[in-house]
Amino acid sequence: MIFSVTSSMPAQAADPYAAIKAELIAQFALGPGSLQGPQHWQRVEETAVRLAQLGGGDAEVARWFGLFHDAARHSEGADPLHGHRAVRLVDHDRTRLGLTDTQLKLLQWACEHHASGQTTDEPTVGACWDADRLDLPRVGLQPQARYLSTVAGRAQALRLFPTAAGGLGSPG
pLDDT 10s digits, 37-73 = 999 999 999 999 999 999 999 999 999 999 999 999 9
Structural domain total, the chain: 1
| Phi, psi angle pair for 93, to nearest 5° | -100, 10
The CB density around residue 154, as the number of other CB atoms within 10 Å, is 21
Please say whether the beta carbons of 41 and 70 come within 8 A: yes
- Residue 4 in any domain: the answer is no
Q: What is the mean pLDDT of residues 18-23?
A: 97
Question: Is 68 domain-assigned?
Answer: yes
138 is in which domain, residue-wise? Answer: 17-165
Residues 55/150, Cβ–Cβ less than 8 Å: yes
pLDDT of res. 2 = 52
Domain for residue 5, yes or no?
A: no
Rg (CA), the chain: 18
What's the rounded Cα separation, in Å, for the pair 144 and 166? 7
Q: Summarize pLDDT for 71-124 with one digit per residue, the tens.
A: 999 999 999 999 999 999 999 999 999 999 999 999 999 999 999 999 999 999
Rounded to whole angstroms, how far apart are CA atoms 66 and 111?
A: 9
**pTM of the entire structure?**
0.88
Q: Which long-range contacts (CB under 8 A, 24 or more apart) does 106-112 make?
A: 106/58, 106/61, 107/61, 107/64, 107/65, 107/68, 110/61, 110/65, 110/69, 111/65, 111/68, 111/69, 111/83, 111/86, 111/87, 112/83, 112/84, 112/86, 112/87
10 falls within a domain? no
Residue 86 forms part of a structural domain: yes
Q: Is 48 part of a structural domain of the chain?
A: yes
CATH number at residue 26: 1.10.3210.10
Task: Decide if 112 is inside a domain.
Answer: yes
Domain membership flag for residue 120? yes
